[in-house]
């Protein structure tokens, strides 16, 4: 009976030391780089372009003709209205 009691106390003490050691271990810091736009992305390339066509933050295309730009917008919206 005494042996079991001493064994139980030993196990409890060992587990408590293991818990304290785990709690004091430093956490790894994970560095996550924020997403950056690539050089070829339309966001950087056509940011201030008056001929670029953007619909709801999505780059559709670019053309100097206003009629073609309007057609691009209609076609883009039509693709999402069809569903």
In a domain, 2, yes or no: no
In a domain, 19, yes or no: no
Give the pLDDT confidence score for residue 43 in this predicted structure.
Answer: 76
Burial (CB count <10 Å: 0-12, 13-18, 19+), residue 52 = middle
**Tens digit of each residue's pLDDT (9 = 90 or more) over 26-78:** 666 777 777 666 667 777 777 888 999 998 888 899 999 999 999 999 999 88
Give the pLDDT confidence score for residue 69 in this predicted structure.
Answer: 94
**Alpha-carbon gap, residue 11 to 18, rounded angstroms:** 10
Give the pLDDT confidence score for residue 9 in this predicted structure.
Answer: 81
Beta bridge partners of 55: 58
DSSP state of 64: S
In a domain, 28, yes or no: no
Give the pLDDT confidence score for residue 75 in this predicted structure.
Answer: 92
In a domain, 69, yes or no: yes
Domain that holds residue 81: 48-83
Tokens 């790894």, residue located: 28
In a domain, 55, yes or no: yes
Domains in the chain: how many in total? Answer: 1
In a domain, 30, yes or no: no
Name the more confident of 25 and 42: 42
In a domain, 76, yes or no: yes
């Amino acid at each position: 009976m005494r042996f079991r009691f001493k064994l139980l106390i030993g196990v409890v003490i060992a587990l408590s030391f293991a818990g304290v050691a785990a709690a004091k271990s430093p956490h790894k810091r994970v560095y996550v780089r924020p997403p950056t736009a690539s050089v070829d992305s339309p966001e950087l390339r056509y940011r201030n372009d008056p001929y670029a066509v953007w619909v709801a933050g999505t780059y559709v295309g670019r053309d100097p003709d206003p009629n073609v730009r309007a057609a691009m917008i209609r076609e883009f919206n039509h693709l999402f209205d069809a569903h």
